[in-house]
Chains A and B, each alone.
Chain A
């Protein structure tokens, strides 16, 4: 192990900007993760515990559980990732504008 270690109790706090960025991104990630995992675990749990509901037909012979597993999950995967990238991009452009304004102010 490297000798250059420090006890976590003596570690100085992170700078405000990084703490803000991390906490903001983490909160978005966690919310998306919770929503996504809720869906992913809900499908098998409902399928095993409420078979009557999950056997209901929604398109010809396609049951609700078949739709949620074979089609809904794929749409959900893309939607969660797309929402995440949307928030990231929005935040990225805001950060860029703030930086541009700061550099314009410094140049005046």
Chain B
């Protein structure tokens, strides 16, 4: 029976678990504090797992190993950049942000300056970042469904959006957090099993790298699998060194580092996770725990990408495995390796892990956008006297609106590269919210005009560099333009604030609140 195939079985078990958790937590979503921040009740283990679940999307679960497989050092450098973001977030932002204790990211700016304008601009930035980030995740989910279950792309988009609207709309932050925490351990578990099997099969890291560095020539059996009919070539010295594929020059490498390192500091779905802890201390420990999970996850992903390449280069694989490695694209490397090392049962676990990654990350983006619409727009612009019941109802309807918005974006980006869109999301976050949060928390002199200028300059400069590359001099045309847009965002906040000079009269009280001992 087809449903007893491991890939179906594990995916169905995952979906049933999500449904059970979502219904079980439904009763905790009857007030705004429960819907948006789960009553600020999560300890560091649960929230740290959920932060890692939010951060480690399908692009990391499938993509990082795939990039290593395809591009060697240039692939691992992407992971290197991603690994830094959560650390800076924990060091500079986590504790003070929790002490502030709001519901959404725009809340921070609105209450820092008592300004509706700042709230509105922040909502636009939240929707821009979430949109750019959610579109590739939906694309990834639809691609996984198409790849493993033979559905159409359109069906994949609609199915994913319906699951997400149910997941977030019914379960709120409580259900979302528990699901995210569970899902990161499914992915991590899949990686640990793969790692153990690879080690047991004798794939010593040093030994396989030795093989890959010294090998130069045609990869066995690939001529029959390649669409061109020509064997795929492997050039060890180029594969293991930067510049072979993606990072041609040092400035472009530094630019990507800038965009991705500072990007995490401004991702709204990660920032608001710290509001769900009961205290600033728990928020810091959550960050540390998430970094521990993410670091181990990254090391495993890069090792598995290397094992995949070694297995491929060594040869002696079944023809359909060679074909999947050759023509499946970077996202197929982990599933193909799982099948090569552990057969269809391990493939089933990896497929469920891939869905867990998509759902986990998307649900965080849904919560962030739902808060921006339901809390920031509805409760502060449309119906300022809304009752608690109306606010929760607005939150649920906002989830549906986000579903339609993300679904439409997902349908529009079918032909675009996932990496470009994720890079854009990180770059916009790095150039807008990163300066605002770092300076807003640590500098009393930031003014409302400075904050708005910083967000607009960061957003517009990112869009200009990425969408109008023909208007950018070729020498500085980088895939992630963080080297220019991040300093521009910081400078805009600083210069406009200095020229303006008008800070909120109660800025000292704000600083006392976010930097005092524990305020809950």
Residues of A bordering B, CB below 8 Å: 1-2, 4-9, 11-12, 14-15, 17-18, 21-22, 25-26, 29, 32-33, 36, 40-41, 43-45, 47-49, 51, 55, 59-63, 65-66, 69-71, 73-75, 77-78, 80-82, 84-85, 88-89, 92, 95-96, 99
Is B189 positioned at the interface, with any CB of A under 8 Å from its CB?
A: no
Contact between B517 and A99, CB atoms less than 8 A apart = yes
Contact between B444 and A14, CB atoms less than 8 A apart = yes
A-B residue pairs in contact (CB < 8 Å), sample of 27: A2-B115, A4-B114, A4-B504, A5-B447, A8-B502, A11-B503, A11-B508, A15-B512, A21-B515, A25-B515, A26-B442, A40-B84, A41-B254, A41-B257, A47-B242, A59-B205, A60-B207, A61-B209, A70-B80, A70-B303, A78-B291, A78-B295, A81-B87, A85-B284, A88-B95, A92-B281, A99-B517
Q: Mark B484-520, 1 if CB is under 8 A from A, else 0.
A: 0000000000000000011111111001100111100
How far apart sit A80 and B91, CA to CA, in the bound complex (Å)? Answer: 8
Contact between B79 and A70, CB atoms less than 8 A apart = yes
Q: Which among B209, B211, B502, B518 is the interface contact of A7 at CB below 8 angstroms?
A: B502
Known: A70-B302, A73-B83. A40 touches B261 (CB 8 A): yes
Chain A min CB distance to B16 (Å): 34
Contact residues on B (Cβ < 8 Å of other chain), bracket: 35 or more
Chain A min CB distance to B468 (Å): 27
Closest to B76 in A: A70
Contact between A33 and B88, CB atoms less than 8 A apart = yes
Known: A12-B508, A66-B76, A77-B291. A29 touches B257 (CB 8 A): no
Chain B min CB distance to A80 (Å): 5
Chain A residues near B291 (CB-CB < 8 A): 77-78, 81
How far apart sit A45 and B77, CA to CA, in the bound complex (Å)? Answer: 13
Known: A6-B503, A60-B210, A61-B211. A48 touches B250 (CB 8 A): yes
Is B179 positioned at the interface, with any CB of A under 8 Å from its CB?
A: no
How far apart sit A36 and B516, CA to CA, in the bound complex (Å)? Answer: 26
Q: Which among A18, A62, A80 is the interface contact of B205 at CB below 8 angstroms?
A: A62
Is B9 positioned at the interface, with any CB of A under 8 Å from its CB?
A: no
Chain B residues near A82 (CB-CB < 8 A): 288
Chain B min CB distance to A73 (Å): 5
Is B147 positioned at the interface, with any CB of A under 8 Å from its CB?
A: no
How far apart sit A40 and B247, CA to CA, in the bound complex (Å)? Answer: 16
Q: A1-B449, A2-B113, A84-B91 are in contact. List 13 more A-B contacts (CB 8 A).
A: A18-B515, A40-B80, A44-B77, A48-B250, A55-B241, A60-B210, A65-B242, A66-B73, A70-B303, A77-B84, A77-B291, A77-B295, A96-B517
Contact between B86 and A85, CB atoms less than 8 A apart = no
Q: Which among A14, A22, A33, A63 is the interface contact of B91 at CB below 8 angstroms?
A: A33
Contact between A5 and B77, CB atoms less than 8 A apart = no
How far apart sit A75 and B291, CA to CA, in the bound complex (Å)? Answer: 10
Closest to B243 in A: A48
Is B159 positioned at the interface, with any CB of A under 8 Å from its CB?
A: no
How far apart sit A4 and B91, CA to CA, in the bound complex (Å)? Answer: 32
Contact between A18 and B84, CB atoms less than 8 A apart = no
How far apart sit A48 and B395, CA to CA, in the bound complex (Å)? Answer: 50
Chain A residues near B221 (CB-CB < 8 A): none
Known: A2-B115, A22-B515. A77 touches B302 (CB 8 A): no
Closest to B90 in A: A81
How far apart sit A82 and B295, CA to CA, in the bound complex (Å)? Answer: 13
Chain B residues near A1 (CB-CB < 8 A): 113, 115, 117, 448-449, 502
How far apart sit A69 and B253, CA to CA, in the bound complex (Å)? Answer: 13
Contact between A84 and B90, CB atoms less than 8 A apart = yes
Q: Which among B261, B285, B287, B504 is the interface contact of A5 at CB below 8 angstroms?
A: B504
Is B445 positioned at the interface, with any CB of A under 8 Å from its CB?
A: yes
Q: Which among B84, B281, B511 is the interface contact of A89 at CB below 8 angstroms?
A: B281
Contact between B90 and A8, CB atoms less than 8 A apart = no
How far apart sit A2 and B505, CA to CA, in the bound complex (Å)? Answer: 10
Residues of B171-215 at the interface with A, using a CB-CB cut-off of 8 Å, are 204-214
Contact between B502 and A48, CB atoms less than 8 A apart = no
Closest to A91 in B: B517
How far apart sit A92 and B515, CA to CA, in the bound complex (Å)? Answer: 12
Contact between B92 and A29, CB atoms less than 8 A apart = yes
Is B298 positioned at the interface, with any CB of A under 8 Å from its CB?
A: yes
Chain B residues near A18 (CB-CB < 8 A): 508, 511-512, 515-516
Contact between B83 and A5, CB atoms less than 8 A apart = no
Is B240 positioned at the interface, with any CB of A under 8 Å from its CB?
A: yes
Q: Which among A8, A48, A62 is the interface contact of B444 at CB below 8 angstroms?
A: A8
How far apart sit A2 and B207, CA to CA, in the bound complex (Å)? Answer: 64
Q: Which among B247, B299, B445 is the interface contact of A71 at CB below 8 angstroms?
A: B299
Known: A8-B444, A77-B291, A78-B291. A65 touches B73 (CB 8 A): yes
Chain B residues near A59 (CB-CB < 8 A): 205-206
Contact between B206 and A61, CB atoms less than 8 A apart = yes
Chain A residues near B302 (CB-CB < 8 A): 70
Known: A45-B250, A60-B209. A40 touches B204 (CB 8 A): no
